Chains A and B, each alone.
Chain A
Amino acid sequence: MNTPKDLLTIEALSDEDIHSILDRTAEMKAIFTGRQNSNVLAGRSVLTLFYEPSTRTRSSFELAARKLSADVTTFSVATSSVVKGESVHDTIDTLMSMHMDYIIVRHKNSGIPGVIAKHCKASVINAGDGAHAHPSQAFLDAFTLREKFDSLAGKRIVIVGDILHSRVARSTSLMMQRLGASVAYMGPGSLVPTTAHTGIPRFTDWDTVFEWHPDVVYLLRVQNERMDSPFFPAADYHQAFGVTEERLLRLDAMDACIMHPGPVNRGVELCDAAMDYRNNLVCNQVENGVAARMSILSYLHPSTLSL
C-alpha cells in the first residue's frame, strides 16, 4: 500500500489512512505505556520546526520520535536566522541539506506546512498552522473517544468557544464526522462562523446544547494571542460560554465527557471542579497524543527514502 508522504490535513487522508493510523495508535500506546522502544524509525532524522511557541505538542512529537528510535533535532526559531527575515523556503533548503526525513512544523500562518511539503522530499507533519489544521490533535482526540466509546458512530460532540481561530475545531470536527459522529459548534457570534460557511450546525447557548444531549463537550482555549482587537467582552465569557459548576452538574447527570486541547484557562473555559470531573478526558488526550504521533510518524513515507 502507498502511504502518504505528508500529514497536512484530515481532508487529504483516505478512510483507509485514518483507520490504519488509529489502529496502529493502539499498538504504539502499548509500546509507550510499557516503557519500551520501537526501532521503526532507527537511522531516520526528525526535525521539529516550531515558529509558534508550544511546549506540549513539541514535547509530544519529540518523545514519539525518540520512542521510535529516530534522531531528533530541535530547530529553535527564536534564536535562528528566521528572526532576521529568512524566508521559509530558504530555511527549508538549509535544513534539507542536513538530510532530514521528517519535518514537524507549526506556524501562525495557515498553509505554511503545505508550502514546505511542496518544496521538499521530507515528510511534513502539520503540527498546527494558523486557523487551518491540526491533524495530529484530531487523531489523538478520535483515539481517546474510541477508547471511551468503542465506536464514534452516532455520538454527539459539541465544540465550544473560539471556532474562528481554531485549527483544532476544523480538524477534529472533520475527523469526528468521518468516523460517523454528529458535530455542532457553540460560541459567541463574533467567534463562530456561520453554518452557511462551516456546514456545521451552531448553538448560541448552553440550554440548546443540553437539549441536544451531547456525549462530548469539547472546550476550546480562548486564543487571546490570535486576537488583535477584542472579539468578546472577556468578563462575561465564563458565565456565558464556560463550564460553570452548575453546568458541570448537568453534564454529570447526562454522563457527558469533557475534552480540551490544552492548555486550559481555569475559570475561563472550565471551572476548577471540571478539571477533576470523572469524565474529564484531558489527561487521556495528552497520553494518547504521544501514541497517535508515534503512529503518524511510522505511517508516513518520506520521499527521501525512495532515492
Chain B
Amino acid sequence: MTSTYILNATWAPTGEVFDLRLTPGSSHCVAELGGITIRDAKVYPSGKMSIPTGATRVIDATGKLFLPALFDMHAKVEIAGRSKRESVSRTGQAAIQGGVWGMLVMPTAGFVFDNAATLDSFQDAVSQRSAAEMFPAGCISLGMEGTQQAPYNTLAARGVSILSDGGAPPTDLLMLHRAMKYAAELGLTFAIRGDVPALSAGTCIHPGTTAYKLGLRSTPPCAEEIGIETIIRLAQDAGAALHIQTVSTAKGVESIRRAKAAGCRITAEVALHHLIYTHENIGDYDTNFKTVPPLREQADADALLAGLKDGTIDCIVSDHTPCPPFDKKQDFSTAPQGMTALDYFLPQLYSKLVATGKLTWEELVRTCCLNPCRIAGPEIDEEEPDGIPLLLFDPQTTGTISAASLPSGTINTPLLGQTICGTVTLPLQ
C-alpha cells in the first residue's frame, strides 16, 4: 500500500510541528493526537520520521496546518432541477473542498427520509457518488407534515440516529411529545429549531432598522426563545435527547445555558452565517442574506460566539441550502431562504473567526468536528478504530470566488466575487 509522507506540518489545535505518514485503508494505522483518533495516519515528532528510499509521495507542509476534517451536522443536499444522484455528487464535492468529510443530511422535499426505500436509495447514491460521508437525518413526521409519527423503528434499523423535520418548527406539540416518548427508547435524538409558528408565519426578516427601511414583515426574537423553552420542556418530560438547531438570538443562548446548567440532555448548534452576518447585510433586498431564522443583530452574533466558547452551543453548522438561481431573483419575501456554505466552509471559518481572533483552532476543531461527530456522526472514541481523516490547510493562499469555483453548482451565496483566504487539501492520501 502506497504511503504519503508529509513533513513539517503544524497541528492546528496546539501549533506543534509533526511529520506524518498516511496509509489509506490500513486499519492498523491509527494515530491519536490530543485525544482525537485519526484515520490512516502515523504521527512523528518533526524530523523523526524515516522516509524509505524511493518514496514518491513526499509533501513539504512547512507553513501549512493539519487538523481533523470537519463534520457538518446540518446540510441540505437537494439541488432543484438536478437529479438526486447529481445533487449528492455535487454536494459531496463541495463538502470536500470546504474541508468537510462527513455531514448530517436534513430531509427535504426531494429526500423525504421517512421510509426505508428512500433511505436505501439515498445511501446507494452516497456510496456510489459522494466524495464525502453523508448520514441522513430521519423525519420526525411522515412527509414532514407535522401530523403523524414517522416509522422510527424502521429508520433506526437503517442507521438513523437523529430525527428532524428539516428546520420546520413543530406545529403539533402533542404529536411531538408522543414522538419523543416513543423514539427516546430507541436512542434517537430530536433535532428541532426553536420557533412559534403563530408568531413567525409570513415573516422574513429580523425586526430592526432594515425591516423598517425595506417594509418587510419581521419575526420577533421571542418566537425563538419561547420555542426553545417549549421543546426543552417537552424533551425533558419525554426523556428524549434534544439537539436545538440554528440558534440565532442572545436570549435563545441564555435559555440553553440555563437548561444545561439544570442538567438537561440537550445540545445546540449555530449556523456560520449567524456568527458572521447581521440583518444589515441584507442592504437593498439581497436575497442571498435571506435565512430562517433571520440574520439578527451584532449583539446576538456576539452572544452566539460567547455561547460557543463557554460550551453552551456545541457546534457550528453550515446550514448549506442550495436554491435555484431564478428563485433567488424574486422579491425578498417570495424568494426561498438559505445560502450555500459548504464549498468554502473551512476557509470562511478561518477567515472570519480564527484569523480575526474570535475563535481558536482548538475551539474550531471542538465545535466543527469533535462535538458534531459525537452528536450525529460515527463513534470516534478509542474503541472505534476508524477515526477521523486529516486535512491540510494552507492559510497563505487567497483566491476570488466565482461560479466556477463552487463545486456545489449553486450560486446562492454572498461570497461570489469575494476574496477568500485558505485552501483545503482533502483527502490527504
Residues of A within 8 A of B (CB): 11, 87-89, 107, 109-112, 114-115, 119, 129-133, 167, 170, 193, 196-199, 228
Contacts and interface: CB of A to CB of B under 8 A. Distances in A.
A170 B216 CA distance: 12
A130 B334 CA distance: 12
Contacts of B331: 88, 107, 109-112, 114-115
A131 B213 contact: no
Contacts of A129: 215
Contact of A109 (B211, B212, B213, B334): B334
Given A170-B213, A193-B212, A87 B330 contact: yes
B332 interface: yes
Given A88-B330, A109-B333, A131 B216 contact: yes
A228 B215 contact: no
16 contacts: A87-B326, A109-B331, A109-B332, A109-B333, A109-B334, A111-B216, A111-B333, A114-B284, A114-B285, A115-B329, A119-B329, A130-B215, A132-B215, A132-B216, A167-B215, A170-B215
B332 A197 contact: no
Interface string B284-298: 110000000000000
Interface in B205-259: 207-209, 211-217
Contacts of B217: 131
A157 B95 CA distance: 56
B212 A133 contact: no
A177 B37 CA distance: 64
Nearest to B207: A197
Interface in B76-105: none
A115 B331 CA distance: 6
B202 interface: yes
Among A112, A133, A199, the one with the most B-chain Cβ atoms within 10 Å of its Cβ is A112
B391 to A, nearest CB: 40
Nearest to B205: A110
A197 B212 contact: yes
B contact residues, range? 20 to 34
Contacts of A89: 326, 329
Contact of B285 (A11, A111, A197, A228): A111
A196 B211 CA distance: 12
Nearest to A89: B329
A31 to B, nearest CB: 33
Contacts of B285: 110-111, 114-115
Contacts of A107: 331
B287 to A, nearest CB: 9
B335 to A, nearest CB: 9
Given A193-B207, A197-B209, A110 B329 contact: no
A4 to B, nearest CB: 15
A55 B100 CA distance: 57
Interface string B332-376: 111000000000000000000000000000000000000000000
A36 B281 CA distance: 48
A198 B212 CA distance: 6
A197 B215 CA distance: 11
Contacts of A132: 214-216
B202 A110 contact: no
A119 B331 CA distance: 12
A115 B284 CA distance: 10
Contact of B209 (A87, A167, A199, A228): A199
Interface centre among A88, A109, A119, A129 (most CB of B within 10 A): A109
Given A193-B207, A197-B207, A197-B208, A115 B215 contact: no
Contact of A110 (B207, B208, B216): B216
A55 B217 CA distance: 26
Contacts of A114: 284-285, 331
Nearest to A108: B333
Contacts of B212: 170, 193, 197-198
A198 to B, nearest CB: 5
Nearest to B202: A228
B282 to A, nearest CB: 10
A270 to B, nearest CB: 24
A130 B218 CA distance: 14
